[in-house]
Structure 1
Amino acid sequence: MFSVLSNKNFRNLFLAQNFSLIGTGLATVALSLLAFDLTGENAAILLSSLFTIKMVIYVFFSPIAGAFSNKFNRRFYLVSLDIVRAIAAIGLFFVNEIWHIFIVISIIYITSAAFTPIYQSTIPQLFHEDEDYTKALSLSRLSIDLENILGYMLAALILIFYDYKSLFIGTSFGFIASALLILTIFLPKVTESEAIKDIRFIGKITYGLKKYTVLPELKGLMFMNLAVSAGGAMILVNTVIMVRALLGMDEGALPVAMFFFGFGSVLGAILVPRILKRYSVWKLMYFGAYTISIVFIMFSILITHGVFNFMLLLIFWFISGFGYSFVLTPMGRIIRASVREDELSQLFAAQFSLSHLCWLLMYPLAGFLITQFDVIVTLFSLAIIILLATVISSGYIKDKNIHH
Structure 2
Amino acid sequence: MKITEPLKSLKEPLFAKLYLAQTISLLGDAFTWIGIALLAFEFGGNQSAKILATALTLRVTAFIIFGSYAGVLADRVNRKAIMIITNIARMFIVFSLAFVTDVWQLYVLIFLLNIFNAFFTPSYKACIPQLINNKENYANAITLSNATWQLLGILGPGLAGVLAIWLGSRQIFIFDAISFIISSILVFMIPISLLKKEDLIQSKSYIINTWNDIVKGTKLLFKNPPIRFALLIELVAAIAGAQILVNTVGHIKGDLLLTDREYGWAMTAFGVGATIAAFTSNILDKSKNKTTLLIVGALMLAIAVSLGNIVPFTILLVLWMIAGLGQSFTEMPSQILIAENIPLEAQGKVYGSHFAWSHLWWAIGYPIAGLTGIYCKGNEFLIGGLLTLGLLVLFWIFAKSKINL
Equivalent position to 1:337, from 335, 340, 351: 340
Deviates more, 1:353-362 or 1:196-205: 196-205
Distance 1:100 1:335 in 2: 38
Deviation at 1:273, TM superposition (A): 4.2
**Cα deviation code 1:143-193 (max 9, x no counterpart):** 233323244434643762x56544333222111111111112243545699
Where does residue 404 of structure 2 map in the other structure? 398
> Alignment partner of 1:397: what SS?
coil
Q: Distance in 1 between matches of 2:170 and 2:330?
A: 36
In structure 2, the residue matched to 1:384 is 390
Say if 2:93 is the partner of 1:88.
yes
SS at structure 1 position matched to 2:215: helix
Q: Determine if contact 2:95/2:173 at 8 Å carries over to the other structure.
A: yes
Cα separation, 1, equivalents of 2:251 and 2:105? 34
Q: In the alignment, which residue of structure 2 is the partner of 1:118?
A: 123
- Which residue among 339, 356, 361 is the counterpart of 2:359? 356
Q: Distance in 2 between matches of 1:200 and 1:8?
A: 35
Query: Which residue does 1:62 correspond to in 2?
Result: 67
1:107 aligns with 2:112: yes
**Structure 1 position 226 matched with structure 2 position 238:** no
Cα distance, 1:312–1:329 mapped onto 2, change above 3 Å: same
Which residue in 2 is equivalent to 1:235?
Answer: 244
Give me the whole-angstrom Cα distance separating, in 1, the residues matched to 2:45 and 2:365. Answer: 27
Query: Cα 1:298–1:180, aligned 2, differ >3 Å: closer, same or farther?
Result: closer
Partner amino acid for 1:211?
Answer: L
In structure 1, how many angstroms separate the alpha carbons of the residues matched to 2:132 and 2:387?
Answer: 40
Q: Tell me, in whole angstroms, the C-alpha distance in 1 between the residues paired with 2:310 and 2:68.
A: 46
- Letter paired with 2:364: L
Aligned runs of 1:198-347 on 2, under 5 Å? 200-239=209-248, 248=256, 250-251=258-259, 253-275=262-284, 279-283=286-290, 285-293=291-299, 296-297=302-303, 308-347=311-350
Alpha-carbon distance in structure 1 between the residues aligned to 2:49 and 2:246: 13
Compared with structure 1, are the counterparts of its residues 165 and 242 closer, same or farther at alpha carbon in structure 2 (3 Å cutoff)?
closer
Matched residues, number: 389
Per-residue CA deviations over 1:242-279 (Å, capped at 9, x if unaligned) read: 66777x46345444333322211111112134446xx1
Instruction: In structure 1, list runs of 5 or more residues that go unmatched.
Output: 400-404
Contact 1:191 1:342 (8 Å CA) reproduced: no
Summarize deviations over 1:368-394 as a string: whole Å, max 9, x none.
457449454542332121233245345
Give 1:381's aligned amino acid.
L
- CA distance in 1 between counterparts of 2:137 and 2:9 reads 6
The 2-side partners of 1:298 and 1:100 are apart by 35
What are the Cα deviations for residues 317-348 of structure 1, in whole angstroms up to 9, with x where unaligned?
33332232122123212112332222212111
- Looking at structure 1, the residues matched to 354 and 76 of structure 2 have their Cα atoms a distance apart, in angstroms, of 20
Equivalent AA in structure 2 for residue 2 of structure 1: L
SS in 1 for 2:190: coil
CA contact (8 A) 1:286 1:327 kept: no
**In the alignment, is the contact (CA less than 8 A) between 1:291 and 1:323 conserved in 2?**
yes
Pair 1:309–1:281, CA change in 2 (3 A): farther
Q: Distance in 1 between matches of 2:304 and 2:29?
A: 35
Structure 1 residues 257 and 115: CA distance shift in structure 2, 3 A: same
Report if aligned partners of 2:217, 2:350 keep a CA contact under 8 Å in 1: yes
Distance 1:238 1:368 in 2: 10
- Say whether the 8 Å CA contact 1:59–1:357 is kept in structure 2: yes
Q: Note closer, same or farther for the CA distance 1:392–1:120 as it changes in structure 2 (3 Å cut).
A: farther
Greater shift, 113-122 or 248-257, is seen at 248-257
Answer with 19-28 or 344-353: which moved more. 19-28
- Check whether the contact 2:63–2:359 (CA below 8 A) recurs between aligned residues: yes
1:132 counterpart (117, 134, 137): 137
Measure the CA separation in 2 of the matches of 1:85 and 1:394. Answer: 43
Name the aligned partner's letter for residue 387 of structure 2. S
Q: What CA deviation, in whole Å up to 9, does each residue of 1:294-331 have, x standing for no partner? A: 6645886x89xx98555554444333322321221232
Contact 1:146/1:266 (<8 A) preserved: yes
Q: Which one is further off, 164-173 or 9-18?
A: 164-173
* Aligned counterparts of 2:403 and 2:199: Cα–Cα separation in 1: 28
TM-score (norm 2): 0.80
Give the Cα–Cα distance (whole angstroms) in 1 for the partners of residues 293 and 349 of structure 2.
Answer: 28
Distance 2:42 2:310 in 1: 40
CA contact (8 A) 2:281 2:329 kept: yes
| 1:79–1:179 CA contact under 8 A, matched in 2 | yes
Amino acid at match of 1:363: Y
Gaps of 5+ in 2: 1-5
Query: CA separation of 1:264/1:159 partners in 2, compared to 1, >3 Å: closer, same or farther?
Result: closer
How far residue 110 of structure 1 moved from its aligned partner, in angstroms, is 0.5
- Residues 142 and 269 of structure 1 are in contact (CA less than 8 Å); yes or no, is this contact kept in structure 2? yes
Say what the alpha-carbon RMSD is for the aligned residues.
Answer: 3.7
Contact 2:87-2:180 within 8 A present in 1 as well: yes
TM-score (norm: length of structure 1): 0.81
Q: Deviations over 1:191-240 (max 9, x none)?
A: 699xx999623323333223334333432232122122233234334545
Structure 1 residues 312 and 291: alpha-carbon distance in aligned structure 2, compared to 1, 3 A threshold:
farther
1:9 aligns with 2:14: yes
Contact 1:288 1:322 in 2 (8 A): no
| Alignment partner, residue 3 of structure 2 | none
Task: Give the % identical residues.
Answer: 26
